[in-house]
Structure 1
Amino acid sequence: MCWWTDKHRQLATMPWCLFLAVVLASLAQYPAEKCEEITDLDLKHSIAGSSVQVRLLLYTRANVSCGVLLSHDDPFSNPEFNVSRPTTFIIHGYRPTGSPPIWMHKVVEATLSHKDVNAVVVDWNRGATHIIYPKVVENTRLVASNLTAFLLKMQLKGISLSSVHMIGVSLGAHISGFTGASFNGSIGRITALDPAGPSFTGKPVDDRLDPSDAQFVEALHTDMDAFGFRNPLGHIDFYANGGADQPGCPKTIFSGSQYFKCDHQRSVFLYVASFNVTCPLIGYPCASYSDYLDGKCLRCDQFSSAGCPVFGPTLINWKDLLVKLGQTSTYFTTNKQSPFCQTNYEVDILTWNSQPRWGSVTIKLQNPAEEAMAQINHKSFKFEMYTKTTLLARFDRALQLVETITLTYSTGNVCAARHKLRVLRLRLTPLDSHLRPMCRYDVLLMENTEVTFRPIPCQDSNF
């Protein structure tokens, strides 16, 4: 039964139940705006192929989880596209089965949490889906032409291309390059996440991504021995774990589809993780991955006041780095899963064995609450009398307080007699923080036997 409120009796002109019915009827005429998602295709599209269709889905801090479809003809008719904000395009790659990328929303959320931008997802699933990979490669030019036309409209609106950032995954990296080349490299930044290698390796710069395509081009390599591009193609190229096999990814085909896509896809998850400023992915400029692991490229203060380049959106001093470094390759290692960052120490060991000793070292840093471990065993190192041996220790986590250190020396020789390594001086210098170095003097290591001790302040700062 309808009723009247005492409080508003004089103002009310209709019963509340009738008023509610009118409101609901009005809302039915203007339904909530539909959230757009990346096109979801299936196996029949993969077999038959699909013609290119580019959809641009806008996300902002006001609609982080709800994509709005932009008009190619008049993108600024949508008030949510704010021309005063920078614009970031996120471009996926090859989709052989037609399914949307599982990582797309993670990239959008991370991008918007870091900076207030127009985050535009470039949905070209119709064109990226086909079992015949070369057909999809041909379509990348069409997608780039579509984006070029869109950027031209942005230019006419007065938007500076230097405020545009393109994040391209696999084939999306080369689409970013083709688009940037149309504007003679005036786009602000391109982030290439494991740029596709097949059909692009060995091609001239006009047919792939290269440093001239934007003011700054950064590339991350994670699968260069399969789906990724091996050689440098940016101003700064980051090679995670050497750029090929990623820790935690399957090693045999019996693991199913993850065997094929895990290494390649890891580039995206590393990019998402790079937004965590407390867990930076620091790249060390070096001639090769083996030189990096051997501890030959550990000094970053020679490159810039900010040190070595950090992969991801926190790298803002890139102009300074380009002046110092030019085009360069950098290396870092990661854990198997998030948080991926590792903590690096320079380890200097001075021994006094009368005869040279060969072997590897395992180091544990400990406090009552936790432990961090680094195995320096990628090869056998030579320890000579009164000769300093420098190693790179990559710990799986950071310890702000280290109470004890455990060392283990191993030669890997099962049948040979057990050797001793007489350590005259040991120094551990943190590379990723301003913590003080830790030292220890006169330590006797028996092969395959843990020796635990408390670190002490270093007596000689030059050692």
Structure 2
Amino acid sequence: MWMVRAALQNSPMLRLCIFTCFLAVKADIGQECPKFTGLSIANAIIGTNLKVQILLYTRRNQNCAESFSDHNDYNLTASIHLNVTKKTIIVIHGYRPTGSPPVWIDKIKDLLLEREDVNIIIVDWNRGATTMNYPSAVSNAKKLVVILKNMIDQMLENGASLDSVYMIGVSLGAHVAGFVGKAYNGKIGRITGLDPAGPSFTGRLPHERLDFNDAQFVDVIHTDIDALGYRKPLGNIDFYPNGGTDQPGCPKTIFGGYYADKWKEHLIEKNPPVTTAYFDTSDKDPFCMYHYFVDIIIWNKSSKEGFIKIKITDNAGNTTESKIKNDAASFHQYKQAKILAGFYPDFDNISKIALTYSTRNTVGPKYKLRVLEMRLKSLSNSKRIQLCRYDFILLENIETTFKPIPCQDIAE
């Protein structure tokens, strides 16, 4: 027996062969591969104690996880598939008030493995996150930190590098990632916080929540700040898609999560500055919105404020209206007023532009803008020809449609 044990320890290929045969036998006898824990609303009502399952996926076992639990002390170094010389991405879900598995787990795993040959570790703490008592889930989340720290320590002892550890945390999981990062003095390679939880963390000091010092690079995407999400910036760069509130195509409830389809890789710098960024998405694949600046210079001697509704039409007669809700613009004589427009389809050839000026006042006189120049400039495609129209009048609440011409210059 000791000879067999020695052979297994010294021959990764032998272990892989045996594991492959094991999977084949498993399939033949109808047994399923390890799955994320599925619970119900009944479990949430009763409450659950913390019990963690670690699911490891690589390109070699993308559809059948290796499972690790407290029975084997979460000892991933005994894994057949783990390669500690590669990047390891640790995905941590958050509060589960209904007990159902997160719908995005398999999708984000497959997308990440399609993008890069890495180790994917799904941290299944559904037993502990499933409860109607939110403070109980917060308490269990903090206990989870100890388990993950022990797991990473084992990996480091066997040749892994903190630089290659990347944690993606959702909701409560974002703060868990932050606490793990603090345990390593911010030397983990990267943390991404997806809709970090607000309750129990809003107003807390940096050591009590996710913070930009918790990793070499921390990026955060806020998608539910009007409900359970954390409102203020937390990372080196914080993104607020669609203002950080309800997301197009996602359920408009406080439990509407972040969809993996919209997850993007961001530029990582050493010693990055703290930055806040805003962008818009559509509700359909590929979720892109195409942005333009509409620059307007007026003749009017008196300054005016108001809103501009923008429509564009292509050569085939297709028409689309800007989906961005701007604040009132200020128009001053001979000064450029910039208005951001965003369209879901991207028209290669714009044949018509329609503008409507409004003060949104229901009483009082109607105004008009005497436009010296209107310039449409693509932000999504900087090489696209800028389109202009010169010397026309916008009457309040009346749509004015015209055929644009190439601008006479390319001045900013």
Which residue of structure 2 lines up, in the alignment, with residue 399 of structure 1?
347
- Farther off after superposition, 333-342 or 165-174: 333-342
Which residue of structure 2 lines up, in the alignment, with residue 437 of structure 1?
386
Identity of paired residues, percent? 43
Which residue of structure 2 lines up, in the alignment, with residue 280 of structure 1?
none
Q: Distance in 2 between matches of 1:209 and 1:29?
A: 42
Which residue of structure 2 lines up, in the alignment, with residue 61 of structure 1?
59
- Counterpart of 1:365 in 2: which secondary structure? strand
2:94 is aligned with 1:93: yes
Q: Which runs of 5+ in 2 are unaligned?
A: 1-23
Check 1:451–1:373 CA distance in 2 against 1; reply closer, same or farther (3 A cut): same
- The count of aligned residue pairs is 384
Which residue of structure 1 lines up, in the alignment, with residue 369 of structure 2?
421
2:369 is aligned with 1:446: no
Check 1:424–1:458 CA distance in 2 against 1; reply closer, same or farther (3 A cut): same
2:287 is aligned with 1:340: yes
Which residue of structure 1 lines up, in the alignment, with residue 167 of structure 2?
166
- Counterpart of 2:185 in 1: which secondary structure? coil
Q: Distance in 1 between matches of 2:254 and 2:175?
A: 21
User: Taking structure 1 as the reference length, what is the TM-score of the superposition?
Assistant: 0.77
Check 1:377–1:36 CA distance in 2 against 1; reply closer, same or farther (3 A cut): closer
Which residue of structure 1 lines up, in the alignment, with residue 255 of structure 2?
261
Q: Distance in 2 between matches of 1:145 and 1:224?
A: 29
Q: CA RMSD in A?
A: 2.4
Q: Distance in 2 between matches of 1:74 and 1:402?
A: 60
- Farther off after superposition, 226-235 or 377-386: 377-386
- Kept in 2, the 8 Å contact 1:86–1:163? The answer is yes
**Cα offset for 1:30?**
6.9
User: One-letter code of the match for 2:52?
Assistant: V
**Cα offset for 1:451?**
2.6
User: One-letter code of the match for 1:239?
Assistant: Y
Which residue of structure 2 lines up, in the alignment, with residue 388 of structure 1?
336
**Cα offset for 1:246?**
3.6
User: One-letter code of the match for 2:59?
Assistant: R
- Counterpart of 2:253 in 1: which secondary structure? helix
- Kept in 1, the 8 Å contact 2:174–2:210? The answer is yes
- Counterpart of 1:140 in 2: which secondary structure? helix
- Kept in 1, the 8 Å contact 2:211–2:234? The answer is yes
Q: Distance in 2 between matches of 1:195 and 1:185?
A: 18
- Farther off after superposition, 373-382 or 391-400: 373-382
- Kept in 1, the 8 Å contact 2:54–2:74? The answer is no
- Counterpart of 2:100 in 1: which secondary structure? coil
- Farther off after superposition, 152-161 or 406-415: 406-415
Which residue of structure 2 lines up, in the alignment, with residue 410 of structure 1?
358
- Farther off after superposition, 438-447 or 115-124: 438-447
- Counterpart of 1:63 in 2: which secondary structure? coil
The one of 46, 49, 66 aligned to 2:47: 49
Report 1:110-121 matches (<5 A).
110-121=111-122
Check 1:328–1:413 CA distance in 2 against 1; reply closer, same or farther (3 A cut): same
Q: Distance in 1 between matches of 2:253 and 2:262?
A: 22
Q: Which runs of 5+ in 1 are unaligned?
A: 1-25, 251-257, 275-311
Q: Distance in 1 between matches of 2:107 and 2:296?
A: 43
**Cα offset for 1:90?**
0.9
User: Taking structure 2 as the reference length, what is the TM-score of the superposition?
Assistant: 0.86
**Cα offset for 1:389?**
1.2
User: One-letter code of the match for 2:395?
Assistant: M
Which residue of structure 2 lines up, in the alignment, with residue 216 of structure 1?
217
User: One-letter code of the match for 2:75?
Assistant: D
Q: Distance in 2 between matches of 1:112 and 1:177?
A: 24
- Kept in 1, the 8 Å contact 2:311–2:355? The answer is yes
The one of 362, 365, 369 aligned to 2:312: 365
**Cα offset for 1:319?**
0.9
- Farther off after superposition, 406-415 or 88-97: 406-415
Check 1:438–1:184 CA distance in 2 against 1; reply closer, same or farther (3 A cut): same
**Cα offset for 1:168?**
0.3
